[in-house]
């Protein structure tokens, strides 16, 4: 209910601020009609319509009149789901997704290296994903800064970030940050920490430094405000700035984790230092500490049924998301991977078979719940009036293995259209063929030119030799040598 | 010296032999010593000053390293050596805005790294950076001119192709150091440097070991350095004013030099070649308040208007992307890659159309003739040859902040000139003479300027340079 109030408040803010997107194809009015609408928040609507105006959901119901000039998408026999939200993604990143050289790499920021040209963005769209939480890798107890993006394929990197979404930071516990499964090349010393104890110590140390750093700045600001002259400011430390933001609640902590003991550890450390963990990622043993997670109020973003790929993943069970949901944890299912992201709807469906979640609760795992975890549920995650028109149209119920995404919309704009994609393939093929042909021709031309030049040079040489001393003045004999 | 001898009517055979030997020893150019001529006049030539319209029949007078006069009716000073420019065109010398001429070769990776059973693996460096405070790949104090080796054979081949000036860059690193603008003239680096602190080269490649090992790490590091420099700017004067009672701030050479570089608004060459890198570079350069030029620019065709709107200069890398020489037949390039290869040479035309100022860098092309070939691909893709010439001369000079002395044929500017027998960028054109800092360089077997006082066109008698050259041919 609180969520509805928040949504309503957001709607009021939205309406009063008169947000209008720039005129263009995406500012059009669109009507999706004759669809089965899976609203997530208020049940399913058969033969329903969704009216989209200026990128937002304007109306949802069964008898909406088609406004003049509206683009109509007839979705007869099809299903509309809120755009899928992937709470753990590594797509659209230029270069290495880990700054693994140091135990605390909070100075690096995924936002600096967004790659709008990564085709995985488009592949994800083809699986119905509209929002991704793009994370730094898990090589460090405290990793880099992270960012939530909308998969606006074709737009520049600067237009990918989800406006207003709080940025995050990646933490990691267990085998990855202690480099259990990675040996440095010989001659290079293994990076600290090498144990779970060391991982905890690294986090404590970093936050101790961050608090000291904050104190220095507060002291400087106080003295400056008091009018003290000739002050030398503290150095700005890009490693500690984001940790101060964590302490101030301005940045979410998304923590890669496996084992129950380390999950409890981080909650204790966070409490001690006065910050909050927003989500545990993977959290494969979350079912063992579901009550503690629920009491703490942290989100859990897990895999459906992927386990035993390393020691700390041996106790994973496919019932994890259902069990945690039952105990009151907000749970999402994520991909961690550009391929897995293309069928997150099926990953969600597995929680029905393993654990008996309701269909709606299963769908929440990839829509509303990740939205809540990322603090963007006012904007996305369900089909409600005033929310962003981030929608995916499936040809079957998305919980079916036969379901294939047909169209994916973000802010009311169609960013993926299966028919359009298929229709366009021939043209792309022939363009490719033509370009290859052109290159081949140019290469042959060049070879021919080089050959001609070689011959001409040779002829010139011969002539010069002939013209030289009158050793052999045989005149008109056509010997090419 | 040589001309004096060739003018002597009755030299002995020995003298001719000695001269021939001398010429063979330094075949392509006059030596710099002693009584080298300081006055030249190129008469009856077509002159393309770049700063203004071409003169169909004019004279350029060079005196003491500078252009003294240019025009249709210019008096030839009596002391000048005269080149009859009939059928020839005079251009400002070309500027290569980014290469490694005269730079020490990068050290080859030692074969036997310390690693056992890891042949071919990158060697482990002695010092591994563990954070920004270790200043990885950072040497802003390095100045290319200090390492410049004038014996590099390529200098001459560049000059023979019409290049008179090069922005010589230190080997790539995160903050590699400062490139120097060098005139391709003499033997002594001190005489060749036009501007030693011409441009700061930064790089985006992570280090193999230690921090930073990712692109985002490199960016965060550069951000930290700009922050540290700002801190230094505040801390150093505060401490200098009242050292007593203030804890002494760290002395950090990087901050000190970066502060100098940023304050004098030295150009920062920001690598930015494609549709993702270019907007990123513009955003970061703005955030860090750098006086940046985009270095690469090969996907400028897709972003010219945005670059124009933000008023960035571009140094276009002329080494266009192309298919691997001996590609794996199974490995067919993606459509995106093919489009890039096809359209990249169209970038200069797109930049010119959008009003972006750009220069050209040979960026790793090995042969100067291939540099001009690359430019012809750009002109074939729509760049006017006027614009191409500007990019090589006056625009390059403006971008590098030396338009007051280089880039066009105007009185008072440095006498860097190319004399060719046609359109300088044409395929069949031959460069006949090159002047760098007013010094005459002949391009192999071509007519020499005449002795002062000689009526132009008349050949000196029997011991003419031509006959000497023919005699000496066997030794070439």
Residue B351 or residue B248, greater confidence: B351
CB pairs under 8 A between A and B: 143
* pLDDT confidence of residue B108: 63
Local confidence band at A468 (pLDDT 50, 70, 90 cut-offs): low
B58-68 residue pLDDT tens = 999 999 999 99
- Residues of B whose CB is below 8 A from A230: 238, 241-242, 246
DSSP states along B446-474: -PPPBPTTSPTTPPP-TT-HHHHHHHHGG
A248-263 residue pLDDT tens = 999 999 999 999 999 9
A166-189 residue pLDDT tens = 999 999 999 999 999 888 877 788
A361-407 residue pLDDT tens = 999 999 999 999 999 999 999 999 999 999 999 999 999 999 999 99
* Contact status of A241 with chain B (Cβ, < 8 Å): no
Query: How many CB atoms sit inside 10 A of residue B333's CB?
Result: 18
Min CA distance, A6 vs chain B (Å)?
A: 35
Lowest-pLDDT choice from A312-321, B5-14, B310-319: B5-14
| Cα maximum dimension of chain A | 108
- Report the pLDDT averaged over residues A316-329: 98
How many Å apart are CA B232 and CA B99, to the nearest integer?
32
* pLDDT confidence of residue A19: 34
How many Å apart are CA A36 and CA A229, to the nearest integer?
69
pLDDT at A14 over 60: no
Contacts of B384 (CB under 8 A, 6+ apart): B352
Is residue B359 exposed (0-12), middle (13-18) or buried (19+ Cβ within 10 Å)?
buried
How many Å apart are CA A100 and CA B210, to the nearest integer?
8
Local confidence band at B109 (pLDDT 50, 70, 90 cut-offs): low
Local confidence band at A462 (pLDDT 50, 70, 90 cut-offs): confident
Average pLDDT, chain A: 92
Evaluated on CA atoms B337, B338, B341, B347, the torsion sign reads: negative
Tokens of B325: 């020489």
Local confidence band at A22 (pLDDT 50, 70, 90 cut-offs): very low
DSSP states along B343-396: HGGGHHHHHHHHT--EEEE-TT-S-HHHHHHHHHHHHHTT--HHHHHHHHTHHH
pLDDT at A471 over 60: no
Is residue A183 exposed (0-12), middle (13-18) or buried (19+ Cβ within 10 Å)?
exposed
pLDDT at A474 over 50: no
On the question of a cis peptide bond just before residue A193, with omega within 30 degrees of 0, the verdict is: yes
Q: Is B382 left (phi over 0), alpha (psi -120 to 50) or beta?
A: left
- CB hemisphere CA count around A191 (13 angstroms): 29
Judge contact between B164 and B407, C-beta under 8 A.
Answer: no
Range with top average pLDDT, A180-189, A277-286, A464-473: A277-286
Secondary-structure percent of chain B, ordered helix, strand, coil, rounded to 5: 35, 20, 45
pLDDT at B18 over 60: no
How many Å apart are CA B141 and CA A423, to the nearest integer?
57
* pLDDT confidence of residue B121: 58
pLDDT at B476 over 50: no
Per the listing, tokens 């020691």 go with A311
* Contact status of A435 with chain B (Cβ, < 8 Å): yes
C-alpha closest to that of B211 among A113, A101, A139: A101
Instruction: Give me the phi and psi of B345, to 5 degrees please.
Output: -65, -10
* pLDDT confidence of residue A101: 94
The interface predicted TM-score of the complex, written ipTM, equals 0.90
- B231 with A115: Cβ contact below 8 A: no
Which of B220, B279, B288, B310 to mutate to test binding with chain A, by most A CBs within 10 Å of its CB? B220
How many Å apart are CA B183 and CA B439, to the nearest integer?
11
Taking CA–CA distances from B373, the nearest residue in chain A reads A446
Average pLDDT, chain B: 86
Is residue A60 exposed (0-12), middle (13-18) or buried (19+ Cβ within 10 Å)?
buried
- Residues of A whose CB is below 8 A from B323: 439, 443
A48-86 residue pLDDT tens = 999 999 999 999 999 999 999 999 999 999 999 999 999
Local confidence band at B92 (pLDDT 50, 70, 90 cut-offs): very high
3-class secondary structure for B67-113?
Answer: EEEEECCCCCCCCCEEEECCCCEEEECEEEEEECCCCCCCCCCCCCC
Query: What b-and-e string marks burial along A108-139, b requiring 16 or more CB atoms within 10 Å of the CB?
Result: bbbbbbbbbebebbbbbbbbbbbbbbbbbbbb
pLDDT at B3 over 50: no
Instruction: Give me the phi and psi of B83, to 5 degrees please.
Output: -110, 125
Q: Which of B132, B283, B323 sits opposite A158 (nearest CB)?
A: B283
pLDDT at B454 over 60: no
Tokens of B26: 């330094």
Local confidence band at A463 (pLDDT 50, 70, 90 cut-offs): confident
C-alpha closest to that of B246 among B255, B254, B237: B237
C-alpha closest to that of A411 among A49, A41, A159, A135: A159
pLDDT at A28 over 90: no
How many Å apart are CA A345 and CA A399, to the nearest integer?
6
- Report the pLDDT averaged over residues B374-386: 97
- Residues of B whose CB is below 8 A from A436: 332-333, 338
Min CA distance, A262 vs chain B (Å)?
A: 27
- Residues of B whose CB is below 8 A from A97: 214
> What's the alpha-carbon Rg for chain A, to the nearest Å?
30
Judge contact between A62 and A45, C-beta under 8 A.
Answer: yes
Taking CA–CA distances from B123, the nearest residue in chain A reads A187
A135-167 residue pLDDT tens = 999 999 999 999 999 999 999 999 999 999 999
B121-169 residue pLDDT tens = 567 777 889 999 999 999 999 999 999 999 999 999 999 999 999 999 9
* pLDDT confidence of residue B156: 93
Q: Which of B230, B242, B247 sits opposite A230 (nearest CB)?
A: B242
pLDDT at B313 over 80: yes
* pLDDT confidence of residue B452: 57
User: What do you get for the CA distance between the two ends of chain B, in Å?
Assistant: 21
**Strand pairing category for A71-74 and A79-82:** unpaired
Helix (H) or strand (E) segment spanning residue B43? strand B39-47
B387-430 residue pLDDT tens = 999 999 999 999 999 999 999 999 999 999 999 999 999 999 99
Local confidence band at B30 (pLDDT 50, 70, 90 cut-offs): very low
- Report the pLDDT averaged over residues A20-29: 49
How many Å apart are CA A338 and CA A93, to the nearest integer?
12
* pLDDT confidence of residue A56: 97
How many Å apart are CA B137 and CA B129, to the nearest integer?
9
Min CA distance, B73 vs chain A (Å)?
A: 41
Per the listing, tokens 């042959």 go with A444
Judge contact between A6 and A378, C-beta under 8 A.
Answer: yes
pLDDT at A417 over 50: yes
* pLDDT confidence of residue B186: 73
- Report the pLDDT averaged over residues A450-473: 76
* pLDDT confidence of residue A334: 98
Beta bridge partners of B361: B317
- B335 with A431: Cβ contact below 8 A: yes
């Amino acid at each position: 209910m609180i969520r509805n109030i928040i949504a309503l408040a957001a709607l009021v803010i939205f309406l009063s601020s008169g947000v209008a997107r720039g005129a263009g194809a995406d500012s059009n009015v669109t009507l999706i009609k004759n669809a089965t609408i899976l609203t997530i928040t208020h049940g399913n609507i058969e033969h329903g319509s969704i009216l989209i105006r200026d990128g937002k959901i304007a109306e949802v119901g069964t008898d909406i009149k088609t406004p003049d000039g509206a683009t109509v998408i007839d979705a007869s026999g099809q299903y509309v789901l809120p755009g899928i939200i992937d709470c753990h993604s590594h797509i659209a990143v230029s270069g290495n997704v880990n700054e693994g050289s140091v135990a605390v790499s909070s100075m690096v920021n995924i936002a600096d290296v967004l790659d709008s040209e990564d085709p995985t963005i488009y592949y994800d769209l083809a699986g119905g994903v509209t929002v991704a939480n793009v994370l730094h890798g898990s090589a460090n107890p405290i990793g880099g800064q992270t960012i939530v993006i909308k998969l606006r394929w074709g737009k520049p990197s600067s237009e990918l970030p989800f406006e207003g979404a709080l940025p995050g930071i990646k933490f990691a516990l267990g085998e990855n940050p202690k480099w259990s499964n990675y040996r440095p090349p010989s001659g290079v010393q293994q990076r600290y920490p090498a144990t779970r104890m060391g991982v905890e110590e690294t986090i404590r140390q970093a936050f101790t430094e961050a608090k000291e750093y904050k104190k220095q700045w507060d002291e400087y600001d106080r003295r400056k405000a008091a009018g003290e002259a000739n002050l030398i400011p503290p150095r700005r430390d890009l490693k500690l700035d984001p940790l101060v933001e964590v302490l101030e609640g301005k940045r979410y902590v998304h923590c890669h984790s496996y084992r129950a003991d380390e999950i409890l550890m981080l909650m204790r450390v966070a409490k001690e230092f006065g910050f909050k963990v927003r989500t545990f990622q993977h959290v494969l043993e979350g079912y063992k500490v579901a009550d503690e997670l629920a009491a703490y109020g942290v989100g859990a973003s897990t895999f459906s049924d992927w386990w035993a790929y390393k020691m700390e993943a041996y106790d994973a069970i496919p019932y994890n998301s259902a069990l945690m949901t039952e105990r009151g944890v907000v749970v999402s299912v994520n991909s961690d991977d550009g391929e897995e992201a293309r069928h997150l709807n099926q990953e969600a469906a597995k929680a029905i078979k393993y654990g008996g979640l309701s269909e709606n609760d299963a769908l929440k795992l990839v829509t509303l719940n990740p939205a809540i975890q990322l603090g963007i549920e006012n904007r996305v995650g369900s089909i409600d009036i005033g929310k962003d028109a981030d929608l995916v149209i499936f040809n079957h119920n998305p919980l079916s293995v036969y379901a294939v995404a047909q169209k994916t919309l973000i802010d009311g704009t169609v960013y993926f259209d299966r028919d359009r994609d298929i229709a366009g393939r021939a043209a792309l093929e022939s363009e490719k063929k033509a370009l290859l042909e052109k290159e081949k021709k140019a290469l042959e031309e060049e070879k021919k030119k080089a050959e001609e030049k070689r011959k001409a040079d040779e002829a010139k040489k011969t002539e010069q030799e002939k013209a030289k001393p009158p050793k052999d003045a045989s005149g008109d004999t056509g010997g090419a040598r | 010296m040589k001309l004096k001898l060739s003018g002597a009517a009755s030299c002995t055979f020995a003298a001719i032999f000695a001269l021939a030997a001398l010429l063979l020893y330094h075949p392509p150019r006059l030596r710099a010593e002693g009584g080298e001529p300081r006055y030249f006049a190129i008469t009856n030539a077509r002159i393309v000053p770049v700063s203004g319209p071409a003169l169909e029949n004019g004279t350029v007078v060079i005196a003491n390293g500078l252009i003294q006069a240019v025009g249709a009716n210019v008096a030839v000073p009596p002391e000048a050596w005269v080149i009859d420019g009939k059928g020839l065109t005079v251009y400002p010398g070309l500027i290569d805005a980014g290469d490694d001429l005269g730079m020490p070769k990068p050290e080859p990776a030692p074969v036997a790294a310390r690693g056992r059973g890891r042949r071919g693996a990158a060697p482990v460096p002695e010092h591994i950076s563990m954070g920004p405070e270790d200043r990885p790949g950072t040497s802003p104090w390095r100045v290319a001119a200090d390492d410049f080796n004038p014996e590099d054979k390529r200098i001459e081949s560049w000059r023979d192709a019409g290049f008179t000036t090069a922005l010589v860059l230190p080997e790539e690193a995160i903050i590699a150091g400062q490139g120097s603008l060098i005139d391709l003239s003499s033997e002594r680096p001190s005489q060749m440097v036009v501007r030693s602190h011409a441009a700061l080269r930064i790089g985006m490649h992570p280090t193999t070991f230690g921090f930073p090992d990712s692109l985002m790490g490199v960016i965060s590091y550069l951000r930290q350095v700009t922050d540290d420099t700002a801190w230094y700017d505040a801390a150093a004067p505060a401490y200098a004013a009242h050292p007593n009672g203030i804890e002494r701030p760290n002395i950090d050479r990087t901050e000190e030099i970066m502060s100098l570089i940023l304050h004098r608004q030295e150009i920062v060459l920001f690598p930015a070649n494609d549709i993702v890198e270019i907007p990123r570079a513009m955003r970061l350069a703005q955030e860090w308040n750098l006086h940046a030029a985009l270095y690469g620019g090969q996907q400028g065709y897709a972003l010219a208007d945005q670059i124009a709107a933000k008023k960035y200069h571009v140094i276009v890398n002329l080494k266009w992307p192309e298919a691997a020489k001996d590609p794996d037949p199974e490995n067919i390039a993606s459509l995106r890659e093919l489009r890039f290869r096809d359209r990249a040479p169209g970038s200069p035309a797109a930049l010119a159309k959008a009003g972006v100022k750009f220069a050209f860098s040979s960026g790793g092309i090995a042969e100067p003739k291939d540099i001009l070939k690359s430019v012809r691909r750009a002109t074939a893709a729509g760049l006017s040859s006027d614009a191409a010439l500007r990019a090589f001369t006056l625009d390059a000079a403006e971008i590098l902040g030396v338009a007051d002395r280089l880039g066009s044929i105007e009185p008072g500017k440095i006498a860097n000139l190319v004399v060719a027998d046609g359109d300088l960028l044409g395929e069949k054109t031959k460069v006949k003479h090159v002047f760098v800092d007013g010094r005459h360089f002949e391009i192999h077997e071509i007519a020499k300027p005449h002795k002062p006082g000689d009526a132009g066109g008349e050949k000196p008698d029997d011991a003419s340079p031509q006959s000497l050259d023919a005699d000496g041919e066997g030794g070439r």
